[in-house]
Amino acid sequence: SAVISQKPSRDICQRGTSLTIQCQVDSQVTMMFWYRQQPGQSLTLIATANQGSEATYESGFVIDKFPISRPNLTFSTLTVSNMSPEDSSIYLCSVEANQETQYFGPGTRLLVL
């Protein structure tokens, strides 16, 4: 399986500010995804990070709020913009490795005050 790291692991932010989360994988992967997991809830897909093109967003998520970059096959960033307390969540990246199996990064715990 792929080794996936995320930075930061956690952060406390003030409302109205933005935070960029980084996801690094130890091998080249075609598919990378960003999920949100609100406290005590399931995982919801935010977007698919496409290398060399714009991300594909799911219903309810927009590029202005969650801009995503994918400069190469091992790295992606997710920015949470103009944050409000409702954005307090765990943000997880995942990658599709061998045989289309998805593996998750350790997550970024975000608290917005």
Partner 1 sequence: GENVEQHPSTLSVQEGDSAVIKCTYSDSASNYFPWYKQELGKRPQLIIDIRSNVGEKKDQRIAVTLNKTAKHFSLHITETQPEDSAVYFCAASVRGSARQLTFGSGTQLTVLP
Determine the interface stretch with partner 1 among 16-24, 64-72, 79-87, 101-109 (rule: CB under 8 A). Answer: 101-109
Q: Please, which residue, 18 or 44, has the CB nearer to partner 1?
A: 44
Determine the interface stretch with partner 1 among 19-27, 37-45, 66-74, 78-86 (rule: CB under 8 A). Answer: 37-45
Q: Please, which residue, 48 or 88, has the CB nearer to partner 1?
A: 48
Min. distance of Cβ 64 from partner 1 in angstroms? Answer: 21
d(CA 104, CA 84): 25
Q: Please, which residue, 19 or 33, has the CB nearer to partner 1?
A: 33
d(CA 24, CA 2): 10
d(CA 18, CA 54): 20
Q: What Å distances lie between residue 108 and 3, 9, 41, CA to CA?
A: 16, 5, 15
CA dihedral 37, 83, 47, 35 (to 10 degrees): -20
Q: State which of residues 39, 86, 100, 113 lies at the interface with partner 1 (CB under 8 A).
A: 100
